[in-house]
Structure 1
Amino acid sequence: MTRTALLDLLSQGADAEQGGPGAPDHGGDGEAPAASRVEAFTLLAQRRAAGEMVLLPRLLTGSERRIHVRQTIREDHQTRIATHDEEAREKFDKLAASPFSFFRGTALLFYRDMAGEDPWMPTVLSAGDVHPDNFGVVPNRDDVPVFGIDDYDEAAYAPFTWDLKRGATGFMVAAESEGAKGEARQRSTAEAFVRGYADAMRAYAADATEAFDEMRRDNAPPLIAALLDHAVRGSRAAYLTSKYLDDTGRRFAPSKKIVPVSSRLAEFQELVDRYVAENEIEVPPRADGMRVKDVAVRKGQGTASLGLARYYLLIGGADEKGTDDLLLEVKQARRSALAGLVPPSDISPDDHEDHADPSVGGDDPDGGASARHGARIAHAQRVAMVNGGVFYGSVQHDGDSYLVRERSWYRDSVDLTGLSGQGWHDYARVCGRVLANLHARSDEAGRVDHDVEPEILAAMAPLDLFVEDVVEFAAEAADRVRTDHATYRRDHAHGAFSKVDRVYR
Structure 2
Amino acid sequence: MVTAAPTQTAAGPSPPGADERAARGRAARAEVPRRAHGAWSAPADRRSPLELLEQQAQTRVPELVPIRYGRMLVSPFTFYRGAAYVMAADLAGLPRTNLDTQLCGDAHLSNFGVYAAPDRDLVFDVNDFDETLPGPFEWDVKRLVTSFAVAGRDRGFDAAQRTVVNRAVSRAYREAIHRYAAMSELDLWYSRISLDALMRQIAAVASAKQLKRAEKNIAKARSKDSVRALAKLTETVDGQLRIRSAPPVVVATRDLFAPAQQAEVDDAIARMLRSYRETLPYDRRRLLERYRYVDAARKVVGVGSVGTRAWIVLLLGRRGDPLFLQLKEAEASVLEPFLGASEFGNHGERVVEGQRLTQAANDITLGWLRVTGVDGREHDYYVRQLWDAKGSALVELMDPRALEEYAKVCGEALARAHARAGDALPIAHYLGRSDAFDRALATFAEAYADQNEQDYATMRAAVEAGTIAVRTGV
Q: What TM-score comes out, normalization by structure 2 length? A: 0.79
- In structure 1, the residue matched to 2:208 is none
SS across alignment from 2:308: coil
Aligned AA (1:476):
A
- In structure 2, the residue matched to 1:397 is 371
Q: CA deviation at 1:317?
A: 2.7
- 2:457 equivalent to 1:489: no
Give, in whole Å, the separation in 2 of the partners of 1:235 and 1:498: 35
Q: CA deviation at 1:94?
A: 1.7
- In structure 1, the residue matched to 2:301 is 301
The 5 Å alignment of 1:65-84 reads 68-80=48-60
SS across alignment from 1:93: helix
Give, in whole Å, the separation in 1 of the partners of 2:298 and 2:342: 32
Q: CA deviation at 1:140?
A: 2.0
Give, in whole Å, the separation in 2 of the partners of 1:153 and 1:183: 32
SS across alignment from 1:102: helix
SS across alignment from 2:296: strand
Give, in whole Å, the separation in 2 of the partners of 1:171 and 1:147: 18
1:254–1:494: structure 2 CA closer, same or farther, 3 Å change rule? same
Contact 1:156 1:352 in 2 (8 A): no
Give, in whole Å, the separation in 1 of the partners of 2:368 and 2:152: 35
- In structure 2, the residue matched to 1:153 is 130
How many residue pairs were aligned?
Answer: 404
Q: What TM-score comes out, normalization by structure 1 length? A: 0.74
Q: CA deviation at 1:125?
A: 0.3
- 2:152 equivalent to 1:205: no
Contact 1:142 1:389 in 2 (8 A): no
Give, in whole Å, the separation in 1 of the partners of 2:224 and 2:306: 29
- 2:111 equivalent to 1:139: no
- In structure 1, the residue matched to 2:4 is none
Q: CA deviation at 1:284?
A: 7.6
Q: CA deviation at 1:420?
A: 1.7
SS across alignment from 1:463: coil
Aligned AA (1:313):
V
Give, in whole Å, the separation in 2 of the partners of 1:325 and 1:202: 43
Name which of structure 1's ranges 194-203 and 153-162 shifts more when overlaid on structure 2.
Answer: 194-203
440, 462, 465: which one aligns with 1:469: 440
- 2:272 equivalent to 1:291: no
Contact 1:121 1:459 in 2 (8 A): no
Contact 1:127 1:154 in 2 (8 A): yes
SS across alignment from 1:168: helix
SS across alignment from 2:174: helix
Give, in whole Å, the separation in 2 of the partners of 1:471 and 1:180: 17
- In structure 2, the residue matched to 1:359 is none
Aligned AA (1:186):
R
Give, in whole Å, the separation in 2 of the partners of 1:287 and 1:312: 16
1:70–1:251: structure 2 CA closer, same or farther, 3 Å change rule? closer
1:274–1:423: structure 2 CA closer, same or farther, 3 Å change rule? same
- In structure 2, the residue matched to 1:260 is 252
- In structure 2, the residue matched to 1:176 is 153
1:376–1:285: structure 2 CA closer, same or farther, 3 Å change rule? closer
- 2:424 equivalent to 1:422: no
- In structure 2, the residue matched to 1:479 is 450
Aligned AA (1:79):
T
Q: Could you give the per-residue CA deviations for residues 415-472 of structure 1, whole angstroms, max 9, x where no partner exists?
A: 11111211100101001111111101114xxxxxxxx111011111253111111111
Contact 1:118 1:161 in 2 (8 A): no
Contact 2:224 2:387 in 1 (8 A): no
1:275–1:79: structure 2 CA closer, same or farther, 3 Å change rule? closer
Give, in whole Å, the separation in 1 of the partners of 2:40 and 2:401: 35
309, 325, 330: which one aligns with 2:327: 330
- In structure 1, the residue matched to 2:222 is 232
Aligned AA (1:385):
Q
Contact 2:72 2:82 in 1 (8 A): yes
The 5 Å alignment of 1:266-277 reads 266-277=267-278
Name which of structure 1's ranges 418-427 and 180-189 shifts more when overlaid on structure 2.
Answer: 180-189
386, 393, 402: which one aligns with 1:407: 386
Give, in whole Å, the separation in 1 of the partners of 2:431 and 2:347: 31
Give, in whole Å, the separation in 1 of the partners of 2:355 and 2:304: 18
- 2:197 equivalent to 1:196: no
Aligned AA (2:63):
E
1:165–1:291: structure 2 CA closer, same or farther, 3 Å change rule? same
Aligned AA (1:329):
Q
- In structure 1, the residue matched to 2:161 is 185
Aligned AA (1:211):
W
Aligned AA (1:109):
V
Aligned AA (1:332):
E
1:334–1:58: structure 2 CA closer, same or farther, 3 Å change rule? farther
Q: Could you give the per-residue CA deviations for residues 306-355 of structure 1, whole angstroms, max 9, x where no partner exists?
A: 111111111213432xxx3111111111111111313xxxxxx77534xx
SS across alignment from 1:210: helix
Give, in whole Å, the separation in 2 of the partners of 1:57 and 1:431: 23
Aligned AA (1:70):
L
- In structure 1, the residue matched to 2:9 is none
Q: Could you give the per-residue CA deviations for residues 360-418 of structure 1, whole angstroms, max 9, x where no partner exists?
A: xxxxxxxxxxx421111111110122531111111001111111111125221111111
Contact 1:143 1:389 in 2 (8 A): no
- 2:188 equivalent to 1:217: no
Name which of structure 1's ranges 274-283 and 224-233 shifts more when overlaid on structure 2.
Answer: 224-233
- Give ranges in structure 1 of 5+ residues lacking alignment: 1-47, 50-55, 343-348, 354-370, 444-451, 500-505
Name which of structure 1's ranges 255-264 and 224-233 shifts more when overlaid on structure 2.
Answer: 224-233
